[in-house]
Amino acid sequence: MARVRAALYLDFDNVFSALIRQDPDVAIQFAEEPGAWLSRLTTSLTVEGPRRWLILRCYMNPGGWVPHPDPGAGTQRLYYSRFRPYFVNAGFEVIDCPRLTHTKNAADIRMVVDAVDALGDPVQHDEFVIASGDSDMTPLLVRLRRADRRTTIVSPADAALAFTSVADRLITSQELLELVQGEPVESEEEPVVSTPGEPESPASFDQFRDLVTWRFTAAPGPLNLASLAHDLRRQLGTGVDESNWFGFGGFVRALESLRLPHARFSNHFVWDDSRHGPPETAGGAASAPEPVVRLSAPLGLPRLPRDMWPPVYRALADYAASHHFNLTEATRWARDALAGQGVDVSRSAIAFVTRGTAFGGAPLYRQPPPDAEEIATAFADNVLNRAEAAAIALTDEECAEVRSWLGAPDPKA
């Protein structure tokens, strides 16, 4: 397969400072082993094929720092300059971007200028990979799209919808952390091919049918498609992806071929219409109060029913109390624990809560670890802070309504 000529522009300060608030151990690994995750990014999460890196640039404030995550390190500050040699040795051109003002460095300006300059290079760059969660990059992506270049965003946090919607592919912080740790990158999107065929392995397909039938028959409510697909991959092996789900071209098409009795499908769920109500009417997203509906799309808030939020907080609190924190493990563990309780929540929704909790002031790696109520409070605080930053006007009563829907206590009560 021909390689895609790619250019990578990394805003180190933006990405590292966001990652270290979510998972300090993996953030340090990201900064000390750039060659490892870059090698994996060459063939993972691609738009049109494996990449050939023609440009590798890391923009870094030489005097930048974050509070050191290790209290026993003997220093209160972790300086970005410590990681400069690692990126140089990995083949990056490190661009020093000192602070221009108290809150702003020159990284985003330099990235925009350099990317636009690259459009005029004699050798065409097919894909531009922008590693930054700064929505100020939106005009750059619009300019690259107008030049018919493919764009990929590597976002270390929940970036603005106006920013991510312009790109051809979004690599989330969850996927980035999986790349850094060398784990298989789990995508909740199913591959699609043009024509379904016959099952390529009858024995495996029979096992697939038996497992699905058992889960469908025993389910106390609608099954989340992403969680079900993950569980089946784990039990059946990677061959399901290699065969495009037994030749049917996708997980949902393979499910539909089973003709499960009374099965109904939505974008994210499958359920038995004779026993379950559809997720949208069983306390689901459609019954959310107006303030929640208003901020859901701009913030990317998972469309979970009211009664699903507290179990997510409890699962994350249980994980934090019993494990050394690792973000990718936490989201996987919590999803599986919830599935065992009959609560089907996608891993991406759990990751959204975990990130919001960290940015809201109660990271799961904190000692002592936060309990479920602290997690709920921090997550709701983050949602409302992001709503304010996005200029979504909410009255005090509406803020209280949002907190109630998210299962968080009212701080004024």
Secondary structure (H, E, C), the chain: CCCEEEEEEEEHHHHHHHHHHHCHHHHHHHHHCHHHHHHHHHHCCCCCCCEEEEEEEEEECCCCEEECCCHHHCCCEEEHHHHHHHHHHCCCEEEECCECCCCCECHHHHHHHHHHHHCCCCCCCCEEEEECCCHHHHHHHHHHHHCCCEEEEECCCCCCHHHHCCCCEEECHHHHHHHHHCCCCCCCCCCCCCCCCCCCCHHHHHHHHHHHHHHHHHCCCCEEHHHHHHHHHHHHCCHHHHCHHHHCCCHHHHHHHCCCCCEEECCCEEEECCCCCCCCCCCCHHHCCHHHHHHHHHHCCCCCCHHHHHHHHHHHHHHHHHCCCCHHHHHHHHHHHHHHCCCCCCHHHHHHHHHHHHHCCCCCCCCCCCCHHHHHHHHHHHHHHHHHHCCCCCCHHHHHHHHHHCCCCCCCC
Residue 58 phi/psi, 5-degree rounding, is: -120, 120
The length of the chain is 413
Across 139-159, b (16+ Cβ under 10 Å) vs e yields: ebbebbeeeebbbbbbbbbbb
Q: What angle do CA 339, 341, 344 make, to 5 degrees?
A: 35
Give residue 105's pLDDT: 63
Q: HSE of 234 in the Cβ direction (CA atoms, 13 Å)?
A: 9
pLDDT for the residue 211 = 86
3-state DSSP call for residue 184? Answer: coil
Q: For residue 405, what are the β-bridge partners?
A: none
In whole angstroms, what is the distance from residue 133 CA to residue 213 CA? Answer: 42
* Selection from 381, 373, 372 nearest residue 409 by Cα: 373
State the pLDDT at residue 358.
Answer: 95
pTM (2 d.p.): 0.73
What pLDDT does residue 357 have? 96
Greatest CA separation for the chain: 65
Please tell me the predicted confidence (pLDDT) of residue 103.
58
Q: What's the confidence (pLDDT) of residue 197?
A: 44
Task: Report pLDDT for 351.
Answer: 92
pLDDT of 237 reads 75
Residues of the chain with pLDDT under 70: 1, 101-105, 160-162, 186-203, 238, 242, 267-268, 279-287, 413
